[in-house]
Structure 1
């Protein structure tokens, strides 16, 4: 039995992994797939890949591209979610801010530097023509729980996080969502460490084959909307809206998309250079 360690955020996007694990499909292929939740998100998973704590990760596209260019010895092996991630722009319920432009020059809560919440603060600033040097300030809060405390205590002024995962916190009256910021590219990819890739390509193909079979029909699983609502503490109508705008992928990310991401990150000074497609992506 080949042990493979995989990381991902504890969010509804990754339910398909848990369903296939529960069904024992990987063990049938001689693979002991061990899932590790990373509430800290992309930055935490990038570190785990670098430290060889995990062999593969389901990770934000822009985050892993940035970290590979910065020296993470990993490669993207597939797109996982083909549609953009819709980030909500959140403030504390008692905050005086009512629209995104009022946030110019204030402090953004981020899970860590290099994380999705950090990179998307730049994308949001770009959308609104802010000065990237002077209008962005950051407070590291580690995760969603840290953001609740940080915004409530006034340590930070706003926080970008996936719209539907934060909806219950908005419903509770802890956050207010004053805007949205979608990614200009497919949101999640699967990445693997290069040294693991070299010696375990067949096993990785098997893993992808199993998850792809499930994601291809994910929306047609009976009562999947109710399952997601119950598991992740969400309103059924919110889950149904999320399912209607979300598409999974079973394909390798294409060069045009990789170039689009790099163009954005380079223009925002988030990466020092753009690199060849082959430096970022491996087709199994």
Structure 2
């Protein structure tokens, strides 16, 4: 039996992995797949892919593109969630800031450099015409670090997925000043090159299984109630999230899409130049 390790954020987007693991869908294909939570997000997963701690990662599109360009020996095999991710822009409950435009010179809490919270802060600043060279960042590790930094005042605002942070807005830990959606499909599946070379067909089987689950995910009876309880979310918030979230149906990442994302990242000064698509993506269904 082949051992494979997959990592992702412990959020509602990845519940299909829980379902397929619980159903032993991979074991039936002679694959021993093990899941690892990464509360620190994409930056932590990129590091884990590089070290071989995990073989497959469900990561933010912008983060893994930047890291592969910077030498991560992995490839994007497909999108996982093809709709945008909605990033909430949060300040502490007692913050003096009342509007997003007040944050132009403020210190931004980020989980890691190269993470979604870092890159989306740049996207937000670019959208608002701020000077990107003047942005100030404080690395806080994860969501809990963001809570601490905004509470003690060592950082001024923190961007994290809207629905994950909604309970913190509801209980008064954060105030949300607004949202910033990603200008691209939000999550992709990345696989280490070594694994793709040695176990290509097994990776195909993993993708087929998870794609079959996400294809029918919204029609699972009472899935909204299940997610509400598991992730401690209000039912109406989960229902809203389900209504705007679209998973991939198994179609590969295209050269056109990867080129478009890179063009946007160049405009944001996140990457310096475009890479050929064959350095970034691997078509699993040739």
TM-score by length of 1: 0.99
Report whether the alignment pairs 1:3 with 2:3. Answer: yes
Quote how far apart the aligned CAs of 1:66 are.
0.3
Give the Cα–Cα distance (whole angstroms) in 1 for the partners of residues 260 and 89 of structure 2.
Answer: 23
Quote how far apart the aligned CAs of 1:259 are.
1.4
Give the Cα–Cα distance (whole angstroms) in 1 for the partners of residues 94 and 57 of structure 2.
Answer: 37
The answer to whether the Cα contact below 8 Å between 2:253 and 2:283 also exists between their aligned partners in 1 is no
Give the Cα–Cα distance (whole angstroms) in 1 for the partners of residues 278 and 61 of structure 2.
Answer: 15
The answer to whether the Cα contact below 8 Å between 2:75 and 2:191 also exists between their aligned partners in 1 is yes
Quote how far apart the aligned CAs of 1:19 are.
0.4
4+ residue stretches of structure 1 with deviation over 4 A? Answer: none
Match of 2:156 in 1: 157
2:112 aligned counterpart, secondary structure: coil
Deviations 1:147-166 (A, max 9, x none): 00000000000000000000
Deviations 1:22-76 (A, max 9, x none): 0011000000000000000000000000001111100000000000000000000
Match of 1:239 in 2: 238
Give the Cα–Cα distance (whole angstroms) in 1 for the partners of residues 264 and 208 of structure 2.
Answer: 31
Write out aligned runs for 1:1-284 (5 A).
1-134=1-134, 136-249=135-248, 250-284=250-284
The answer to whether the Cα contact below 8 Å between 2:79 and 2:189 also exists between their aligned partners in 1 is yes
Quote how far apart the aligned CAs of 1:254 are.
1.7
- For structure 2, the 5+ residue unaligned runs are none
Quote how far apart the aligned CAs of 1:268 are.
2.1
- For structure 1, the 5+ residue unaligned runs are none
Give the Cα–Cα distance (whole angstroms) in 1 for the partners of residues 234 and 67 of structure 2.
Answer: 35
Number of residue pairs the alignment of both structures matches: 283
> Over aligned residue pairs, what C-alpha RMSD do you find?
0.7
TM-score by length of 2: 0.98
Deviations 1:65-114 (A, max 9, x none): 00000000000001100100000000001111111110001100000111
